[in-house]
């Protein structure tokens, strides 16, 4: 659960860091949104370093949690409820994340 929670925080930091410039560019938001966006993206990068696994494995597995978090964002922020195929896709991504992060390793 610790790994999943860390991935969840990482995904939120990345999504917020990308959403704020999106608001600035697409919704006529203030350019000041770029400051917290940069801070959020820096937090995202730092959070990725907290995992004990090799970086490539962390990046690959993180993608699965990111997809799930993005669909929750779709529902809560954009007001669009994910459909059946979205949920099936998230399930596949999370299964892949679990295999990558929790599979037994030799050597």
End-to-end CA separation in angstroms for the chain? 24
Q: Which residues contact 16 (CB under 8 A, 6 or more apart)?
A: 36, 37, 40
Q: What is the pLDDT of residue 68?
A: 94
pLDDT bracket for residue 107 (50, 70, 90): low
What is the pTM (predicted TM-score) of this model?
A: 0.86
Cα–Cα distance for residue pair 3/28, rounded to 1 Å = 37
Report whether 62 contacts 96 (CB < 8 A). no
Distances 64 to 38, 73, 94 between C-alpha atoms, Å? 23, 14, 5
Question: What are the pLDDT digits (tens) for 23-81?
Answer: 999 999 999 999 999 999 999 999 999 988 888 888 888 999 999 999 999 999 999 99
């Amino acid at each position: 659960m610790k790994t999943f929670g860390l991935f969840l925080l990482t995904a939120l930091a990345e999504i917020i860091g990308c959403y704020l410039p999106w608001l600035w560019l697409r919704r006529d938001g203030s350019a000041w949104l770029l400051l917290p966006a940069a801070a959020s993206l820096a937090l995202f990068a730092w959070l990725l370093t907290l995992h004990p696994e090799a970086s490539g494995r962390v990046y690959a597995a993180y993608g699965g949690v990111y997809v799930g978090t993005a669909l929750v964002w779709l529902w809560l922020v954009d007001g669009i409820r994910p459909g059946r195929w979205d949920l099936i896709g998230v399930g596949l991504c999370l299964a892949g994340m679990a295999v990558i992060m929790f599979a037994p390793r030799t050597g």
